[in-house]
Amino acid sequence: MIVFLIKGLLRDRSRSLFPVITVTIGVMLTVFLHAWLKGEMGDIARSNANFTTGHVRIMSRAYAENKSQIPNDLALLGVEDLLGQLRLQYPDLQWVKRIRFGGLLDVPDSRGETSTQGPAIGLAIDLLSEESSEVQTLNIEASLVRGQLPSMSGEVLVSDEFAEKLKLQPGGTLTLIGSTMHGSMAMQNFVMAGTVKFGINAMDRGAFLADITDIQQTLDMDDGAGEILGYFQDGIYHDSLSLKIEEDFNRQYTHSGDEYAPVMFALRNQDGLGEYLDLANYISFIAASIFVGAMSIVLWNVGLIGSLRRYGEMGLRLAIGEDKRHVYGSVIIESLIIGIIGSVFGTLLGLAVAYYFQVHGLDIGSMVKNSSMMMSNIIRAEITPVTFIIGFIPGILSTLLGAALAGLGIYKRSTAQLFKELET
C-alpha cells in the first residue's frame, strides 16, 4: 500500500509538489535559524574563553581581587610545579600559563630616536614550544595578515591596525617600556615577526603578543604567571563539569590563609558570563520555540488545506465502497510521506546554508566598531546534534496533524451528501 501511495504522489504533482516544497522551505528556515542562534549566542563565550577566561582559570587570591588592574606583583609563582599537579589531577584539560601586561611600544627611526609610540595591551603565551596549543586556541595562524609567526626568542606579533598606526613593518624593531613584577622600569627590544587581525576590536586596537619566556625575563617573573587557563580537549565549554572541577580544586586551599594561594574560577563565574550564558540559553530556546511554533502552524495549515481540497476525491472513493478507515489511513500515510521527504530535503538545505555561515560567517565589524566587548566581528552559525533533528518537529508532526484533523471529516460523510458532491 505504501509503495502504491508513493507512486500516486510522484505521478500527481498537484498532491505532492506544493506540499513538499512548503515543508522543505519551512524546515530549512527552522534548521538554519537554530544553527544561527546557537552560533551567535555562543560567540561571546567562545571569544572570552579563548582570550581571557579559559574554560577554567587559576589566579592567586590577591590577583583575582584586583584582576582588572592586571597586578603582576600579585601573580602566581612556582607555576611549573602547579602545572605539573594540574596535568596529573585533571588530565582531561589542556593547561597553559599566560601573563597579561600593559606597556608603551616605542618605534625608533633610522637614528635610533623615537619615531612613534603607542600604548599596548600585552599578552604573553607559549608561542615557540612545539607541544603548545596556544597558536590553535587563539587561531593565530589564520589571523596572520603580514609577515610570519615568531620562530625564535625576541620575535613578537602586533595587531595589524596597531602596526599601521606605528608605521611598523615586519622585521622592524620596537621597544617595550613597562614595569617589572617588583615595580621597577622594564625596557626590552623586540623584532616584529608579523601582524595579526583577530576580528575582535578589543584586541585589534593594540594587541602585542610575545612568547611567555621572553616576558618572564623582561618583567622579572621567572617561574611566574598571572594566570593559568584550562581548556577541555574537545574545545567546548562544559558548564556542569567546569563547576565540579572548580569546587574540587578550591577545596584543597579552603583553609589556607595565604593571599597568594591559587584559586580557580569556571567560565560561568567570571566577568558576568554566567548571567550571559543563562540569558543566551533562554533567548535561543524562546526564539527557536517561537519559530518552530510558527512554522508548525504554517505547515499544519498546508496539511489541512491539502486534505480539504481532496474532499471530492475522498467522496468518490467512499461512494465506490472503500472503507472510511482505509481512506483516512491513506491520507495519514500520504501526509507522513510528504512530511518525511520535505523534512529530509529541508534539513539538508538548512545544514548546507548553516555550514556556509559556520565556515565563512557574517562580518558585522562596522556595527561594533567601537565595542570593547570580547566579541568577534564575524558571527558564525554553529551546527550541533540538535540541528540535525529540530526540523523534523514542524516538518512531520505539523503536516501529520493537519491531515489528521482534516481527515476527520471523512467519518461525517453521508451517502446523500456524497452523491450531491459528485453531481456538482
Last residue of a domain, which of 183, 206, 236?
Answer: 236
Does any domain span residue 280? yes
Residue 343 CA to residue 253 CA, distance in Å, equals 54
Give me the pLDDT at residue 413, please.
57
Does any domain span residue 64? yes
In this predicted model, what pLDDT tens digit does every residue of 349-364 receive, in sequence order? 999 998 888 887 776 5
In this predicted model, what pLDDT tens digit does every residue of 43-68 receive, in sequence order? 777 778 888 888 999 999 999 998 88
| Residue reference for cell 587570591 | 61
Stated length of the chain: 424
Does any domain span residue 250? no
Give me the pLDDT at residue 174, please.
92
- List beta partners, residue 158: 195, 208
Do 191 and 88 lie in one domain? The reply is yes
> What percentage of the chain exceeds 90 in pLDDT?
30
Give me the pLDDT at residue 3, please.
53
Type of residue numbered 189: N
Give me the pLDDT at residue 5, please.
46
Do 153 and 171 lie in one domain? The reply is yes
Do 92 and 35 lie in one domain? The reply is no
Q: Which of 389, 388, 366 is nearest to 379 (CA)?
A: 366
Do 26 and 68 lie in one domain? The reply is no
Do 205 and 109 lie in one domain? The reply is yes
Q: Are 107 and 114 a contacting pair, CB within 8 Å?
A: yes
Work out how many domains the chain is built from and give that number: 2
Q: Are 292 and 273 a contacting pair, CB within 8 Å?
A: no
Do 293 and 211 lie in one domain? The reply is no
Strand residues in 135-184 grouped as ranges (E): 144-147, 155-159, 173-179
> What is the extent of the structural domain holding 218?
56-236
Low-confidence ranges of the chain (pLDDT < 50): 1, 4-5, 9, 368-374
Instruction: Give the dihedral of Cα atoms 312, 316, 318, 322; nearest 10 deg.
Output: -130
Give me the pLDDT at residue 378, please.
64
Give me the pLDDT at residue 280, please.
67
Long-range pairs for 136-143: beta carbons < 8 A, 24 or more residues apart:
137/50, 137/96, 137/231, 138/50, 138/51, 138/198, 139/50, 139/198, 140/196, 140/209, 143/196, 143/197, 143/198, 143/199
Residue 115 CA to residue 105 CA, distance in Å, equals 11
Do 291 and 398 lie in one domain? The reply is yes
